[in-house]
């Protein structure tokens, strides 16, 4: 059965109070993060119509597009930044899930795995997917956060802090890369290969052996589309087998990733948090910053170790608004260092008093603390 949703009343949107705390608010309990939410309703002004594009395309171009894309003509085009002012679709009862990329992208497969029978909505950029959820154009977003070979998706860590969405779940997807090219093109014809930077990094050994130039694009499916649309004879694309069917390309090689256990972890994002539970495995994601000093990071992480809470991820990112600090503000010539934010995932639910006590303890060392979400862990096979 398809997932259903209820449309927002009167085209309003709900803004949840940002879950954050500092050393000046150490008296607030962590339970507050989930039991007391302040919601305000504001009228959203949206445009009632959107101009059609490309009405004057020549008939030859239309025929060429239909030949290349075949059945993909019925798929929605990616949302752009300008689309964010368009009106909300109240008629659809399918859960609308945003992902970054074009049809055939791995993120589309992750969205389908996370929310079966959903309406997957492609977006041009990660930022667009975040904004689409906030503005009620879609109900959820499914975005990559880390890969077992290529590492973290730093852009999405930054966007998690910039936006007020909540992590409500995770899904892991096994990634099997294929080398695609137009029909008639052989491996030895390739001079360059296009794909997302993460995909190129995950196929480092194969591409090095081929001796090809690597060109980074926004997403894997976009690389396949570009190769097909421009009928490139000296270029291939690293993408999924599904992208080969959508864009009419030939598969020159399969499973070209450096490691067969190539898994990408995706986060499921929503406007409101879910209620944490203790009857199943949960994971919690937080972000915090610390004062500079010897052993401060050790003390911060020790609050979890002393309570037998397992950390599954720690990521540091320089603060955008204050990336550098002087060790002595009164000395202009003093050495400077990066001011970091720390993103941490741990295996526990915020409904567990042990987790709540750990975060209360962490507040003693943190200058900033925010719970990004407490959600069911994905322990299934990718």
Taking only the tens place, the pLDDT of each residue in 103-123 is 999 999 999 999 999 999 999
Burial 246-272 (b: 16+ CB within 10 A, else e): bbbbeebbeebbbeeebebbbbbbbbe
Domains 67-173+262-272 and 177-256 share a fold: yes
Residue 225: partners with Cβ closer than 8 Å, 6 or more residues away: 102, 247
Top mean-pLDDT range of 7-21, 43-57, 209-223: 209-223
126, 266, 304, 365: the catalytic one is 266
70-79, 112-121, 281-290, 319-328: segment of lowest average pLDDT: 70-79
CATH class name, domain 177-256: alpha beta
pTM of the model: 0.73
367's tokens: 């200058």
Q: Dump pLDDT digits (tens) for 296-307.
A: 999 999 999 999
Choose between 263 and 339: higher pLDDT.
263
Q: Looking at domain 67-173+262-272, does it have CATH number 1.10.357.10?
A: no
List the single range of 25-34, 80-89, 212-221 with lowest mean pLDDT.
25-34
Q: Spell out the domain ranges in the chain.
A: 67-173+262-272, 177-256, 274-376
In angstroms, what CA-CA distances link 211 with 100, 149, 376?
A: 29, 21, 43
274-376: CATH, from 3.30.300.130, 3.30.70.260, 3.30.70.330, 3.40.50.300: 3.30.70.260
Distance CA 195, CA 240 (A): 11
* 266 is annotated as an active-site residue: yes
**Of residues 128, 220, 264, 284, which has the active-site annotation?**
264
Write the CA distances from 381 to 217, 275, 329, integer angstroms: 29, 25, 51
């Amino acid at each position: 059965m398809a997932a259903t949703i209820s449309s927002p009343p009167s085209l309003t949107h709900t803004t949840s109070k940002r879950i954050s705390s500092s050393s000046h608010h150490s008296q607030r309990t962590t339970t507050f993060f989930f039991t007391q939410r302040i919601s305000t309703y504001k009228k959203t002004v949206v445009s009632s119509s959107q101009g059609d594009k490309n009405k004057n395309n020549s008939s030859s171009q239309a025929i060429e597009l239909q030949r290349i894309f075949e059945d993909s003509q019925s798929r929605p085009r990616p949302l752009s930044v300008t689309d964010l002012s368009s009106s909300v679709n109240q008629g659809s009862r399918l859960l609308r899930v945003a992902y970054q990329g074009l049809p055939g992208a791995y993120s589309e497969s992750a969205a389908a795995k996370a929310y079966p029978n959903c309406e997957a909505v492609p977006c041009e950029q990660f930022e667009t997917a975040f904004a689409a959820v906030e503005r009620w154009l879609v109900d959820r977003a499914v975005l990559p956060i880390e890969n077992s070979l290529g590492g973290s998706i730093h852009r999405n860590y930054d966007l998690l802090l910039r936006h007020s969405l909540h992590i409500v779940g995770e899904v892991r997807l096994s990634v099997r890369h294929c080398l695609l090219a137009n029909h008639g093109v052989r491996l030895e014809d390739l001079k360059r290969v296009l794909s997302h930077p993460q995909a190129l990094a995950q196929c480092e050994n194969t591409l090095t052996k081929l001796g090809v130039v690597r060109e980074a694009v926004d997403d894997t499916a976009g690389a396949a589309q570009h190769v097909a649309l421009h009928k490139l004879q000296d270029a291939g694309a690293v993408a999924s087998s599904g992208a080969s069917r959508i864009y009419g390309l030939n598969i020159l090689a399969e499973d070209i990733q450096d490691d067969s256990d190539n898994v990408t972890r995706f986060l499921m994002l929503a406007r409101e948090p879910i209620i944490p539970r203790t009857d199943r495995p949960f994971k919690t994601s937080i972000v915090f910053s610390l004062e500079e000093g010897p052993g401060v990071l050790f003390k911060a992480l020790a609050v979890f170790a002393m309570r037998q809470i397992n950390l599954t991820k720690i990521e540091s990112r320089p603060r955008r608004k204050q990336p550098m600090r002087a060790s002595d503000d009164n000395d202009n010539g003093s050495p400077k260092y990066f001011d970091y934010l720390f993103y941490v995932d741990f295996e526990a639910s915020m409904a567990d008093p042990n987790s709540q006590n750990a975060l209360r303890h962490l507040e003693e060392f943190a200058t900033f603390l925010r719970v990004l979400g407490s959600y069911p862990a994905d322990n299934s096979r990718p």
